[in-house]
Amino acid sequence: MSTRTSKGTLAAAAVALLLVGNAPAFARKKPAPDYAATLVPAQAAPAPANGAIFQASSGYAALHEGNRARRVGDSLTILLVERMIAEKEAASATGRSGNIGLTPPVSGPFSFLSADALKAGGNQAFNGKGSAEQSNKLSGEVSVTVAEVYPNGTMLVRGQKQVTLNRGDEFVQISGLVRPTDVDFDNRVLSTRVADARITYTGRGDVHRASRQGWLQRFFSAVSPF
């Protein structure tokens, strides 16, 4: 193999490692389609007026509902008030000791042995301690749309927000189940009241790249036995 071919192979391998190492960043260039807004389905033609005051096709809503989201395509705002604190601590200690001794005969062929020569003992001890602590906080607001309404009234909501800054992009994505009773008069609901919540906060750009290891350093970190 020539020197030129060898250099070309190394360059191709370096490019492949670069693409693999930065795959997550490339994958987040566009918002995920799974969190796209749900549009209001097409409405059937309204029934002709029958002369009565109440018409079911006029968008009737109960007084206790007001403007709260309740149908597919309606929007509501989720207040992000996530705060998680986890602490863990463990300690252990063990110990063990043993001794054995024999008294040699005072006469006979083994009389030359001393009492100290037939004694043995051992001790073993272990002390271990470990602790871990983690804290996370996320605050803000994200408006989502109702994707589906179940027979019991529970709503599946999902949405995303993309903020483009001068040094990168930020993505906030959320989905989960919301009860109509948890939606307040201002059409808002706390994120702690969202069941099966899936909240993702990611980004890309100069700041995001600066906080990550380079692809070559990640490679050696993965293969290093230490």
At residue 8, the pLDDT reads 55
- How far is residue 77's CA from residue 67's CA, in Å, rounded to a whole number? 13
Choose between 225 and 88: higher pLDDT.
88
175/106: higher pLDDT = 175
* pTM recorded for the entire structure: 0.56
pLDDT of residue 126: 81
Cβ atoms of 74 and 188 closer than 8 Å: no
Using pLDDT thresholds of 50, 70 and 90, give the confidence band for residue 26.
Answer: very low
> Is the pLDDT higher at 89 or at 37?
89
- pLDDT: which is higher, 164 or 6: 164
Token digits of residue 170: 């930020």
Task: Please check the confidence at residue 185 and state whether its pLDDT lies above 60.
Answer: yes
pLDDT for residue 113: 58
Residue 143: the pLDDT is 92
The model's pLDDT over 127-155, given as tens digits with 9 standing for 90+, comes to 888 888 888 888 889 999 999 999 999 99
pLDDT at 28 over 50: no
How distant, in Å, are the alpha carbons of 13, 73, 205, 208, 214 from that of 211? Answer: 24, 38, 10, 5, 10
Query: Is 79 exposed, middle or buried (CB count within 10 Å of its CB: 0-12, 13-18, 19+)?
Result: middle
Q: Which residue has the higher pLDDT, 29 or 116?
A: 116
pLDDT higher than threshold 90 for residue 179:
yes
Separation between Cα atoms, residue 165 and residue 167, nearest integer Å: 5
pLDDT > 90? residue 171: no
Longest dimension (CA), the chain: 129
pLDDT at 27: 42
pLDDT tens track for 82-105:
888 888 888 888 888 877 766 666
Average pLDDT over the chain, rounded to whole? Answer: 75
